[in-house]
Structure 1
Amino acid sequence: MKNTKRSLIIIALIMFVFILQQLHLLSGIISHLESLPWWMYLVFLGILISAYQFLTLSKEDKEVDQQWIEEQGEVFIKRMREEKKRRHPNNNEA
């Protein structure tokens, strides 16, 4: 599902750029990009890579945090049940 969504986004982006090129809306941008020094391309590439890593790592961090919260919740519920059994030894409810 994730790969399909990513592929569709890439195809849509390529189609969008193609349409802009056919309407001659990219010629000004392309001529401006040709005048930039070579190291500016590296800066843009670094920004794009950093943004991608930020998005993917923040997503993984959220998943890890959610898993930790669930584990701590289970520990808390287990302690509550043990405390309830300790206080009411005659009552065998789970």
Structure 2
Amino acid sequence: MKGLVLALAATAAISGCQSAPKPEDMARTSLQTAPADLQLLCAHAAAGAAQVDSAKVLPTSSRALDAASYSVDLDAAGRKFTCIVDTAGSVKSVTPV
């Protein structure tokens, strides 16, 4: 029992020494994601392409392609799609994956 208590104390001391990563090293901040409104535009467009209710389409990931457009990955009731949308809100393409 005494050994267990010492082991737990040592583990707590070691884990307390770890520092959080810098914001620029965190995965979420290293990739610019599409704004929510643009993801929703893509979800609506994918719903039409998949012929499903838009409530069944979920954005799964997104990333900036350049300064003026984003790629959004979507799951439309189990079917995968990729949407390209620009910053003005124009959906350029919706393609099944």
For the superposition of Structure 1 and Structure 2, which TM-score range results when normalised by the shorter chain?
under 0.3
The one of the two structures with greater contact order (alpha-carbon pairs below 8 A, sep at least 6) is 2
TM-score (norm 2): 0.27
Considering only CA atoms, is the larger Rg found in Structure 1 or Structure 2?
1
Structure whose residues are more often strand by fraction: 2
